[in-house]
Structure 1
Amino acid sequence: MYNKIYEILEEKGRIKTAIILDGPDMGKKCIVRQPGNPDAAAQEKSLIPEQEEDREIWEKYLPLLNDARETKVITADGIRIFVEDYRKNPRLAIFGGGHVSQPTAHLGKMLGFHVTIMDDREDFVTKERFPEADELVYGDFKDLDQYIVPYENAYYVILTRGHLGDADCLRRLLKRPYEYLGMIGSKNKVRITRENLLKEGYSLEELDQVHAPIGIPLGGQLPEEIAVSIMAEIVKVKNQHYSAYCDEKVEAAVQEGRHGVMVTIAEKSGSSPRGVGSKMFVEPSGHIEGSIGGGKVEFEAINHCPEVKDKEVKHYALTADGKDSLGMICGGQVTVVFERV
């Protein structure tokens, strides 16, 4: 299943997985994709069980899984489910190539985004104006779907030269999955745009997701100051939920077809060294990629890997005595998931 996870992650930039930690269905796993729209067909495609016969089990949990926004253990019907929210390769698409877009693109690259600039004026999307941009698109905003494919880990910034271009972009972007959607403009322009789109059938819930006026209010007037306020808001949104760390070496081991055991921290308390979602890939030869923190917990997990037949969940107590104790005095507890790959 990890091949599928990394394949979708590379294509869309975001994916969620869920695995049941206890009860009769312990070890059952699924992928949850963010649907592009709320209809039944999209919801159906958003759920990918590891085993198709488990679909009915996961369907009852799907609304709860769709609402989960970060990597953590959730509880449903007394059953604990470990949800992992993976994100990588964030993309920043800026609509409009004007004076505010230039410093916004520059800051976006500094912060690790793949940056796309689109404008309906050819001379505004040039390498001279945007030397650091990854992609420059010249075209009508009404046709943006032809140029910019939907992407789940996307951050959209609408900075066109007028309200018509802004509205054209907003109409199309509202129907996509995204992490952030912001539109520049005065409060009056934003109000009129919202009223027009409501009349066209867009819901208040959809429009309330739009950051407009855009940016954190810093009082700046210069293009560079406005760009800082925009990117500050994007960074705030990007980091408001805890995501699983994507270790590139662990990912590469799976994609290369190597076999072994994937070891993941699902829960932790106290002074355990690595965070929830940390992964380690242990091959039969003893070769290891990644880490769940080193020390006694990692040592015990590595030694347990040869015994793993399919999936297991183990709890380690970071105490000096008691059940599952590791003979440590730092305190705390770690729940570890083992999956044979």
Structure 2
Amino acid sequence: MYNKIYQILDEKGRAKTGIFLDGPYMGKKCILKPETVIREENCGEAAEKKSGVQLIPEKTEDASIWDNYLNILSETKETKVTEADGHRLFVEDYRKNPRLVIFGGGHVSQPTAHLGKMLGFHVTIMDDREYFVTKERFPEADQLVYGDFKELDKYITPYDNTYYVILTRGHIGDADCLRRLLHRPYEYLGMIGSKNKVRITRENLLKEGYTLEQLDEVHAPIGIPLGGQLPEEIAVSIMAEIIKVKNQHYSAYCDEKVETAVLEGCHGVMVTIAEKSGSSPRGVGSKMFVEPSGHITGSIGGGKVEYEAINHCKEVKEKEVKHYALTADGQDSLGMICGGQVTVVFERV
């Protein structure tokens, strides 16, 4: 199932999974793949965007079970254990390879692109002036696109984990981009401009058939108000807002070394921290992959918990859930004095 998770992450940049930690469905798992559909019969300026998910159960016969928990899975916005009919359901929200797409190659775009690369984004710059999208102006950009903003769909592939920044040279270009981006999935959509320009743009798009709900999702004027005037200062305010949006929910850490081991066909046991309290070393969603040879990729924090988990992998048949107490005595105690508890999920891959 992890092959499918990593495949979806490469395609969409986002994925979500759910696995029951107890109760009659203990060990049952599913994937939620984000899906966005645009109604083709109304593909004019105000075409309708419908966002949803495709539910992929680990076992086909479990599909009807997961239908009952689709709302809970969809409404859980971060990696955590939540309650479902009195039982514990571990939801992992994965994010990978965030993309920053900047429309307009002007003076604010240059420091914004630089900060984006520094913060780990794949950066694309698009402008309708060829001499504004060059390696000299944007040496760190991953993709440079020259083309008409009205035809951006030809050049920019839809991708769920994308952060769009509209910084064109005028309100016409801004509106052209906004019309097309409102039809897409995105994590963030921001448009530069004065309050008056933003108001006029909103009024025009409302007349064209866009809804208040759609337009209220747009960050405009763009950025966290820091009082800056210089291009570099405006870029900081834009990226600060993007980072705030990006980190508003806690996502599972996608360890690329663990991913590589799975995609290369290695077999073993995936070990994941589902819950923690007190002084446990690593966060929820941390993963470790233990192969039969004893080779280990990733980590759930080292120390006694990791040692015990590695030893337990030899006994795992399919899926198991274990609780480790970081105390000196009591049930599941590891003979430690730091306090806290860790819930660990074991899955044979």
Q: Same fold judged by TM-score > 0.5?
A: yes
Q: Are the counterparts in 1 of residues 34 and 52 from structure 2 also a CA contact under 8 Å?
A: no
Secondary structure at 1:216 match in 2? coil
Q: Distance in 1 between matches of 2:50 and 2:87?
A: 26
Task: Supply the AA of the counterpart residue of 2:21.
Answer: L
Deviations 1:271-312 (A, max 9, x none): 000110011111111111111111111111111111111111
Q: Distance in 2 between matches of 1:277 and 1:25?
A: 21
For residues 146 and 28 of structure 1, do their structure 2 counterparts lie closer, same or farther at Cα, with a shift above 3 Å needed? same
Q: Report the equivalent of 1:339.
A: 347
Secondary structure at 1:46 match in 2? strand
Q: Are 1:189 and 2:197 counterparts?
A: yes
Counting only pairs closer than 5 Å after superposition, residues 211-230 of structure 1 correspond to structure 2 as 211-230=219-238
What is the CA-CA distance between 1:233 and the residue it aligns to?
1.0
Counting only pairs closer than 5 Å after superposition, residues 4-23 of structure 1 correspond to structure 2 as 4-23=4-23
What is the CA-CA distance between 1:195 and the residue it aligns to?
1.9
Among candidates 65, 76, 97, match of residue 73 of structure 2: 65
Q: Distance in 1 between matches of 2:68 and 2:51?
A: 12
Q: Distance in 2 between matches of 1:175 and 1:135?
A: 22
Q: Distance in 2 between matches of 1:267 and 1:189?
A: 47
Q: Which moved more, 1:195-204 or 1:247-256?
A: 195-204
Q: Distance in 2 between matches of 1:42 and 1:193?
A: 23
Q: Are 1:245 and 2:218 counterparts?
A: no
Q: Report the equivalent of 2:125.
A: 117
Q: Distance in 2 between matches of 1:321 and 1:167?
A: 64
Q: Report the equivalent of 1:254.
A: 262
Secondary structure at 1:35 match in 2? strand
Q: Distance in 1 between matches of 2:38 and 2:157?
A: 19
Q: Distance in 2 between matches of 1:3 and 1:262?
A: 12
What is the CA-CA distance between 1:146 and the residue it aligns to?
1.3
Q: Distance in 2 between matches of 1:250 and 1:151?
A: 23
Q: Are the counterparts in 1 of residues 34 and 53 from structure 2 also a CA contact under 8 Å?
A: no
Structure 2: 5+ residue stretches without partners: 40-48
What is the CA-CA distance between 1:202 and the residue it aligns to?
2.2
Deviations 1:101-142 (A, max 9, x none): 111111111211111001111121111221111101111112
Q: Report the equivalent of 1:160.
A: 168
Q: Report the equivalent of 1:322.
A: 330
Secondary structure at 1:33 match in 2? strand
Q: Report the equivalent of 2:44.
A: none
Q: Are the counterparts in 1 of residues 127 and 168 from structure 2 also a CA contact under 8 Å?
A: yes
Counting only pairs closer than 5 Å after superposition, residues 1-341 of structure 1 correspond to structure 2 as 1-37=1-37, 46-341=54-349
What is the CA-CA distance between 1:37 and the residue it aligns to?
4.4
What is the CA-CA distance between 1:42 and the residue it aligns to?
6.9
Percent pairwise identity: 83
Secondary structure at 1:258 match in 2? coil
**CA RMSD for the aligned pairs?**
1.7
Structure 1: 5+ residue stretches without partners: none
TM-score normalised per structure 1: 0.95
Q: Distance in 2 between matches of 1:202 and 1:43?
A: 16
TM-score normalised per structure 2: 0.93
Q: Distance in 2 between matches of 1:138 and 1:44?
A: 32
Q: Distance in 2 between matches of 1:331 and 1:101?
A: 49
Structure 1 residue ranges, 4+ long, deviating more than 4 angstroms after superposition: 41-45
Q: Distance in 2 between matches of 1:43 and 1:26?
A: 29
Deviations 1:213-244 (A, max 9, x none): 00011111121111111111111111222111
Q: Distance in 1 between matches of 2:103 and 2:50?
A: 27
